[in-house]
Amino acid sequence: MKPIKMMSLALMGVLALGIYRASAQPMGIYLKVNVALTLQQQALFGTNVNGDGKTFISTVEKSKLNNKDLLEFMAEMFDTTWPAGAQLRYDIGMAQMVVTDKTGTNVVFYCGDGVSNANRQAYVFLNLHNQPGPFSEKAVDGIPGYAKFTANDQGAIGIYYDNSNDPSVYIDLNGDGLNIDKGYEKVTDISETRSWNKTFTPFAIGSFDDVNAILTGKITASGKKTSPTPP
């Protein structure tokens, strides 16, 4: 019979701290991202709607932003093109959104690093664990063993774009929101399986094309990895 051992690096030798707080996030894991955002910005302002010189109306324009939209927008921001089948992913080890090739495993661009040169400053910042919050967890040490948690963290988001060649372009949106993080690890004699499911509901405020704007909606990041149990 194999001796009882700790569940790999996930518990870091201290079960009292739990998998959620004790584990370093593994490198090279790129969670699949799904973006469902709404950009709201000031549209008509101070418009005389009936010609009486007294009645005015202000309106808010809404536009949706999904994965395809965001990829196209970032290609413009970063003055680049993406390979066919490019995907949005979240690098949990580096805590930022990335663009990968169609395999989802080869990073072609780190969105948080962005672009910084004489004419263009641009980045898209996403950190799903900007500040830790309360969490619940149950863990059983040994082989077989498992750990399961639900955490409530503060995520952060930011979009910045300044192009000196086009003064009409200026975007500066920043905010935060709740990230509900659910996951588990299961260890057997032959394999270790980890799962991540994150749901972030951001609220960012600032300007878009130098017009007052807010950004709301939902961003999810999920994935699962199974690997052989270390000897």
For every residue of 59-99, DSSP letters joined together read -EEEEEEEHHHHHHHHHHHTT--PPTT-EEEEETTTTEEEE
Query: Is residue 2 in a domain?
Result: no
Query: Is residue 152 in a domain?
Result: yes
d(CA 222, CA 32) in angstroms, rounded, equals 5
| Run of H or E residues at 73 | helix 67-77
pLDDT at position 156 is 98
- Under DSSP, the state recorded for 210 is T
Q: Helices (H), strands (E): how many in the chain?
A: 2, 14
What lies within 8 Å, CB to CB, of 45 at 6+ separation is 58
Query: Is residue 25 in a domain?
Result: yes
Q: Are 49 and 57 in contact (CB under 8 A)?
A: yes
| Run of H or E residues at 135 | strand 135-140
Query: Is residue 1 in a domain?
Result: no
For residue 39, give the nearest of 163, 205, 177 by alpha carbon: 205
Query: Is residue 98 in a domain?
Result: yes
pLDDT at position 86 is 98
Q: Which token pair is 170?
A: 């200026």
pLDDT at position 112 is 96
pLDDT at position 206 is 97
pLDDT at position 24 is 55
Q: Are 182 and 200 in contact (CB under 8 A)?
A: no
d(CA 25, CA 80) in angstroms, rounded, equals 30
Query: Is residue 3 in a domain?
Result: no
Query: Is residue 117 in a domain?
Result: yes
Quick check: bond before 134 cis, omega within 30?
A: no
Segments forming the whole domain that contains residue 68: 8-228
User: For the chain, what is the domain count?
Assistant: 1
pLDDT at position 167 is 82
Dihedral pair phi/psi, residue 41, rounded to 5°? -145, 160
User: Over its length of 231 residues, how does the chain's per-residue pLDDT go in tens digits?
Assistant: 333 333 333 333 333 334 454 455 667 899 999 999 999 998 876 666 666 767 777 889 999 999 999 999 999 999 999 999 999 999 999 999 999 999 999 999 999 999 999 999 999 999 999 999 999 999 998 889 999 999 999 999 999 999 998 888 899 999 999 999 999 999 999 999 999 999 999 999 999 988 999 999 999 999 999 989 877
pLDDT at position 48 is 64
pLDDT at position 210 is 86
d(CA 28, CA 86) in angstroms, rounded, equals 17
pLDDT at position 25 is 66
Distance from CA of residue 64 to its chain's centroid? 17
